[in-house]
Amino acid sequence: MVLNAEAAVAAVQKHIAEPLELDVNQAAVAIIRIANAHMALALRAVSVQRGRDPRDFALVAFGGAGPLHGCTLARELKIPTVIIPQLPGQFSAWGMLTCDLRHDYVQTLLRDFATVSPKEIRSVLAALINDGMTTVGGEHENRSPAPEIECRLDLRYRGQEYTVTVPLPKASYSGDDRETTAARFHELHRLLYGHSAPEEPLELVAVRVTVHRAVEKGPSFLTTHASTSGSGRSASAHNERRVYMGERYGFINTPVYSREELPPGTKLAGPAIIEETASTTVVLPQDKVEVVLTGELVIQITQEED
């Protein structure tokens, strides 16, 4: 169910603000803080919990709502840069339309890795590769490049629940690959989780094969959009609103810009609201925005002192 703005405010007032004895603004802020907390946990799960420091990365915020939360999440995780791609509301759909086709196959093969027969692994790999090539063969276009094959093994330390997927150097497996595959597993485990235990025995859990087929790429509408969007226009706000920018800043009179009127080279300082057809970017106070040559918004985040 989709509510218009007035109905949404009324629902928050009735179901959240009044029972908790809050005003509607406090209730709305609480809702957003809970949403941001959940998203921050998800970001930590793919960064900090895998031994990666968020401060070493940029955050790409896409989707209809991603640019609304990007700067707040970046401050929470101390990420220095946020990138808003062109047409963020359609970013995933565009990626699906332009990415290469792939077929993934997996077969469980629970064995002690130190003693499993290389012939047994080769047999499973061959069957999965045959399935993939048969499928791709039916879709293959004469002008397309030949399909590519990737083979991997799911391994884990004996007694663990989760596996690490280890790529094989070729579309086969021999006894000579056992030692190098185990070494690669220990290396990947250390990179993902911050530790490894080379003395512990390994279990093979599954065999994986991926067959890729490249698709012919047409001209990117994103590039076209970037080269013509807002060309020759000045970057001036078309509106101004009072916007709540968090507990530190409260309500601020904030300029509102139309993204299509921001040509490459435009630089803005927060606070700012940048609107487009399927998304809205919220730029917090002191953050700095630049529209780069290819049309993305690159936001440099000002980290607040604790």
Q: Do 89 and 112 fall into the same domain?
A: no
- Look at residue 161 and give its three-state secondary structure: coil
Q: How far apart are CA 62 and CA 90, in angstroms?
A: 8
Q: Do 115 and 145 fall into the same domain?
A: yes
Q: List the Cα angle 281/46/154 in 5-degree steps.
A: 140
| Mean pLDDT, residues 248-265 taken together | 89
Q: Do 194 and 263 fall into the same domain?
A: no
Residue 219, phi then psi, degrees to nearest 5 = -65, 140
- Considering 159, 190, 213, which residue would you say is the last residue of a domain? 213
Q: How far apart are CA 199 and CA 157, in angstroms?
A: 10
The CATH number that applies at residue 111 is: 3.30.1490
Candidate from 11-15, 104-108, 166-170, 204-208 with smallest mean pLDDT: 11-15
Q: Do 57 and 156 fall into the same domain?
A: no
Q: Using only the alpha carbons of the chain, give its radius of gyration.
A: 25
Q: Do 137 and 282 fall into the same domain?
A: no
Asked if residue 271 has a cis previous peptide bond (ω within 30° of 0), the answer is yes
Residue 263, phi then psi, degrees to nearest 5 = -75, 160
2 within domain boundaries: no
25 within domain boundaries: no
38 within domain boundaries: no
Burial (Cβ within 10 Å: 0-12, 13-18, ≥19) of residue 178: middle
Length of the chain: 306
159 within domain boundaries: yes
Q: Do 80 and 176 fall into the same domain?
A: no
- Greater confidence (221 vs 121) lies with 121
Q: Do 131 and 203 fall into the same domain?
A: yes
Q: How many domains does the chain have?
A: 2
Alpha helices (H) along 99-239: 118-139, 177-193, 221-228
Q: What is the pLDDT of residues 82-98, one digit of tens each?
A: 999 988 888 888 887 77
Q: Do 201 and 107 fall into the same domain?
A: yes
- Which residue segment(s) compose the domain that 279 sits in? 53-93+224-300
130 within domain boundaries: yes
166 within domain boundaries: yes
Q: Do 189 and 118 fall into the same domain?
A: yes
Q: What is the helix (H) or strand (E) element at residue 213, kind and residue range?
A: strand 202-213
Q: β-strand 267-269 against 288-291: which pairing, if any?
A: antiparallel
Residue 227, phi then psi, degrees to nearest 5 = -75, -20
Residue 90, phi then psi, degrees to nearest 5 = -110, 10
Residue 168 confidence class, pLDDT cut points 50, 70, 90 = very high
Q: Do 127 and 169 fall into the same domain?
A: yes
CB 206 within 8 A of CB 163: yes
Q: Do 104 and 205 fall into the same domain?
A: yes
19 within domain boundaries: no
- Considering 213, 235, 252, which residue would you say is the last residue of a domain? 213
Candidate from 8-17, 142-151, 170-179, 231-240 with smallest mean pLDDT: 231-240
The per-residue pLDDT for 50 is 77
Q: Does the predicted TM-score (pTM) go above 0.75?
A: no
Residue 13, phi then psi, degrees to nearest 5 = -60, -45
The residue whose two tokens read 């047999």 is: 123
**Is the pLDDT at 133 greater than 60, yes or no?**
yes
- Considering 165, 193, 213, which residue would you say is the last residue of a domain? 213
Q: Do 232 and 249 fall into the same domain?
A: yes
